[in-house]
Chains A and B, each alone.
Chain A
Amino acid sequence: MLEHVAAILRRMGARVINSVWRLGLATRFFFLTLLYSGTCFRRPHLVIKEIFSAGVLSLIIILVSGLFVGMVLGLQGYETLQTYGSEEALGILVALSLVRELGPVVAALLFASRAGSAMTAEIGLMKATEQISALEMMAVDPIARVVAPRFWGGVISMPLLAALFSAMGIFGGYLVGVVLIGVDEGAFWSQMQAAVDFRDDILNGVIKSAVFGGVVTVIALYEGYDAPPTAEGVSRATTRTVVSSSLAILAWDFVLTSFMFRGAS
């Protein structure tokens, strides 16, 4: 009996130690990526290529999701606001929810499943097919040549995607609220313009999404780089990327929000 409990405790302990190890290794990986980022700035076309594959290719899913999220916000917001007779505030509700929270968070979650998983699978397979080894043997540092451009590609694309998500969302809210339901168009836009602050709302949203972009790409790249070079290893790593980066996005969102909007309201 006692042995059984000890075995369970040992297994739990081993898992905790393993997790702490991985966290430490991922952090070291992140700092190495920053350290070897020089190449990216000397050869910007490497980063531009990654902005294309992580950012531009995620556009469709981001734009379509943004539109629908905005439309739902328009419907739900109108339902709630009309109870208090303040339908004209619909513009504020839609814009603030999107710019502060939904834009960065939902876009980052979509980015993690669309671009993050692709990055993990790509790096994992590059390792499995010895392409990473080949780079090393050709005296080209894989962190500088493969990892860092993808990292910066993610950090730069993410705020742009989140901004486009929010813009589409606001358009969706406008379609449902103004065009479909008939909220006053002037009130919708003017109240939004008056209530949304550039620094407090938009800039903070941009900072959030840049952080999310960094978090997602570091997790995706580390998981790919660390994956055992087998089919099973790569598939597990891809799953882990989506799960860990989604959790990390939500946790970081709480931390950032608690600092950013402390006295805002």
Chain B
Amino acid sequence: MAKTTDAVRPHPPVSDNLVEIRDLSFAYADRLVLQGINMTARRGQLVAIMGNSGCGKTTLMRLIGGQLKPTLGKVIVDGQSVGELDFQALYRLRRRMGMLFQFGALFTDMSVFENVAFQLREHTDLPEEMIRDLVLMKLNAVGLRGAQDLMPSELSGGMARRVALARAIALDPMLVMYDEPFAGLDPISLGVAGDLIRRLTDTLGLTSLVVTHDVQESLKIVDYVYFISEGVIVAQGTPQEIRDSDLPYVHQFVHGEEDGPVPFHYPAPAYAEELGFGHA
């Protein structure tokens, strides 16, 4: 599987790394969520950020999108430090980013067509015929041209996510972030979603960041993996390196073992004591 693409880029790149995260820490009030994160995603690469639920993956994505500001450290996207941009500059940068939310986050009062056309209408003055052609192209790329007149409530979970993907790439972004793209999908939709993410990354010359806990599906498609546990990066490498890793956490995660460094039990007082036998 190709690691990078030879897609033609309109502008000479500022650096080969589209996303660079340096010594990033983030805390909500007094709860430290991420600590000392260092991470890079090269242009054209498909990078996965993995970890168990609640480890700070989604927070990391929000930091890259500028919805949260780092407590310490820097997030650099296309040469710009996201946390230090003013409102206008941040919105200019976001026009070149796409984001796929966990359940699609389609606008429920608009048809599939209008959802995909949304950004084109908001940010461009293109004539209606051109918007129509662009929307149909994007919908065709995700295989849902025939569903253009449906409302989001009429779509299955997998279809909704593909429409959201078409919407995310409507303005041909340089970076697309996927928040749990595989969660809650049946095995067929799962395979389709995985192939689609890989294919779009290659054909459109995108850089993709996938936040996921679906190990098997993502190891099949990604170029590089970062493992996060309790707010720190515990392992990183190519899918093969991850599969062969003998780090206890990675081993537990990749092979889905119940107990290991990540305990089955949430921290609690001793069982006997809580049931009232402790003082006997």
Interface of A with B (CB < 8 Å)? 129-131, 133-134, 136-141, 145
Contact = CB atoms under 8 A, between A and B. Distances in A.
A134 B101 CA distance: 7
Interface of B: 65, 67, 91-92, 94-95, 97-99, 101-103, 105-108, 118-119, 122-123
Nearest to A49: B109
Contacts of A137: 65, 67, 94, 97-99
Contacts of A134: 99, 101, 105, 107
A130 B105 contact: yes
B107 A131 contact: yes
28 contacts: A129-B103, A129-B108, A130-B101, A130-B103, A131-B106, A131-B108, A133-B67, A133-B105, A134-B99, A134-B107, A136-B94, A137-B65, A137-B67, A137-B94, A137-B97, A137-B98, A137-B99, A138-B94, A138-B95, A138-B99, A139-B92, A139-B94, A139-B95, A139-B122, A139-B123, A140-B119, A140-B122, A145-B122
Contact of B105 (A131, A139, A140, A141): A131
Given A137-B65, A139-B92, A130 B122 contact: no
A140 B105 CA distance: 14
A223 to B, nearest CB: 20
Contacts of B118: 138, 140
Contacts of A129: 103, 105, 108
A6 to B, nearest CB: 25
A131 B92 CA distance: 20
A136 B105 CA distance: 12
A141 B122 CA distance: 10
B101 A136 contact: no
B9 to A, nearest CB: 21
Nearest to A138: B119
A214 to B, nearest CB: 23
B80 to A, nearest CB: 14
A43 to B, nearest CB: 10
A42 to B, nearest CB: 12
Contacts of B106: 131
A131 B99 CA distance: 12
Nearest to B65: A137
Given A129-B103, A130-B102, A134-B99, A139 B67 contact: no
Given A130-B101, A145-B122, 13 more contacts: A130-B102, A133-B105, A134-B101, A136-B94, A137-B67, A137-B94, A137-B97, A137-B98, A138-B94, A138-B119, A139-B91, A140-B118, A141-B91
